[in-house]
Amino acid sequence: MVFVAPKLSTKQAIEATAGLLLAARCKRKRFLCVMRFLMSAHCYRLRGPPPRIDTRNGFDNAMDDATARTKFNFTIPQLREPAAKLHLPMPCIITPERDTVPTLEALAMLCRRLKEPSTLFTVANEFGRSPAAYSRICKHTVHELFTRHKERLYFNRELVVRRIEGYCSAVRAKGAPLNCCWAFIDGTKQYVCRPSARDNPASAYENLQRALYNGHPRRHCFNWQGVTTPDGIIVSMYGPVEGRRHDSTMLSMSCLLDELASDEVF
What's the pLDDT tens digit per position in 126-162?
Answer: 999 999 999 999 999 999 999 998 888 889 989 999 9
Give the torsion through C-alpha atoms of 242, 9, 143, 187, to 10 deg.
Answer: -20
Average pLDDT rounded to a whole number, residues 97-124: 92
pLDDT band for position 94 (cuts 50, 70, 90): very high
Task: Give residues with Cβ within 8 angstroms of 64, minimum separation 6.
Answer: none
Tens of pLDDT, residues 27-59: 888 888 878 877 777 777 767 788 888 888 989
Query: Above pLDDT 90, what percent of the chain?
Result: 52
How far is 133 from 149, CA to CA, in rounded Å?
24
Amino acid 5: pLDDT: 63
Say if residues 208 and 218 touch (Cβ distance below 8 Å). Answer: no
Q: Phi and psi dihedrals of 148, rounded to 5?
A: -85, -25
Residue of 102, 34, 118, 37 lying closest to 70 (CA atoms): 118
Question: Is-contact 66 53, C-beta < 8 A?
Answer: no
Identity of the residue numbered 128: G
Q: What is the pTM of this model?
A: 0.71
Task: Provide the pLDDT for residue 1.
Answer: 53
